[in-house]
């Protein structure tokens, strides 16, 4: 999977999160290549001010993954999406520790890879922080899901 890293000063945590998905401690087929532009990439990462989000959610969102078809039209992830854009909320993320930032980005990359929220398991990276996620790295349950999707 190729990706474009336009996340500004989050770059270091993005690289950490990508490395975490490639080498979580269990085998998987995931391999990322960082590209120098977003032409043809499958995952683009941006940081946005809180005002990017509607007023009623902007203080609760750390980041969001949106899904697009081959014409760059945003679609429901249940459909056959071709690429994603991950939007980091600079207004909330800058209050997070580096470890929390990496965890949030790893969670969003999980969505890019096809994983849904896993809010019933606080020891999954796919649990949302608001549901009490206890981990900031890819866990065996997450890796098993990705292996299932790509094998
Ligand atoms: Zn999520």
Whether the predicted pLDDT of 7 surpasses 80: no
Cα 6 to ligand 1 centre (Å): 20
Per-residue pLDDT reduced to its tens digit, 58-109: 999 999 999 999 999 999 999 999 999 999 999 999 889 999 999 999 999 9
Q: Which residue has the higher pLDDT, 51 or 40?
A: 51
Q: What is the average per-residue pLDDT within 129-143?
A: 97
Mean pLDDT of the residues in the chain = 93
CA-wise closest residue to 87 among 119, 61, 116, 115: 61
Which residues, chain by chain, have CB under 5 Å from ion ligand 1? 117
Q: How far is the CA of 78 from the centre of ligand 1 (A)?
A: 14
CA–centroid distance, 63 to ligand 1, in Å, is 8
- Taking the C-alpha atoms of residue 41 and residue 25, their distance in angstroms, rounded to an integer, is 26
What's this model's pTM, rounded to 2 decimal places? 0.94
How many angstroms is it from 115 CA to the middle of ligand 1? 9
CA of 60 to the centre of ligand 1 (A): 12
CA distance 108 to 120: 17
pLDDT at 3 over 90: no
- pLDDT by residue (tens digit) across 108-127? 999 999 999 999 999 999 99
All residues at 6 or more sequence positions from 20 whose CB lies less than 8 Å from its CB, including other chains:
102, 106, 137, 138
pLDDT of residue 127: 98
Contact 68/29 with Cβ under 8 angstroms?
no
Strand partners, 68: 74, 83
Between the CA of 116 and the centroid of ligand 1 the distance, in Å, is: 7
Q: Taking 70 as the threshold, does the pLDDT of residue 137 lie above it? A: yes
**CB-CB contact of 143 with 111 (8 Å):** no
Q: Ligand 1 mean position to 105 CA, how many Å?
A: 10
pLDDT of residue 1: 65
Q: Which domains does the chain have, with CATH numbers?
A: 2-142 (3.40.390.10)
Q: How far is the CA of 64 from the centre of ligand 1 (A)?
A: 7
User: What percent of the chain has pLDDT above 90?
Assistant: 84
């Amino acid at each position: 999977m190729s990706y474009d890293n336009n996340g500004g000063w989050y770059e270091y945590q993005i690289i950490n999160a990508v490395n975490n998905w490639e080498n979580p401690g269990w085998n998987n087929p995931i391999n990322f290549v960082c590209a120098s532009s977003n032409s043809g990439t499958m995952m683009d990462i941006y940081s946005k001010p809180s005002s990017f989000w509607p007023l009623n959610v902007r203080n609760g969102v750390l980041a969001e993954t949106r899904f697009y078809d081959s014409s760059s039209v945003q679609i429901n992830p249940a459909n056959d999406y071709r690429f994603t854009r991950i939007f980091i909320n600079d207004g909330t993320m800058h209050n997070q520790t580096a470890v929390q930032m990496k965890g949030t980005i790893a969670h969003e990359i999980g969505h890019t890879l096809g994983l849904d929220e896993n809010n019933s398991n606080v020891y999954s990276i796919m649990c949302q922080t608001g549901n009490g996620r206890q981990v900031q790295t890819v866990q065996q349950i997450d890796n098993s899901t990705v292996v299932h999707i790509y094998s």
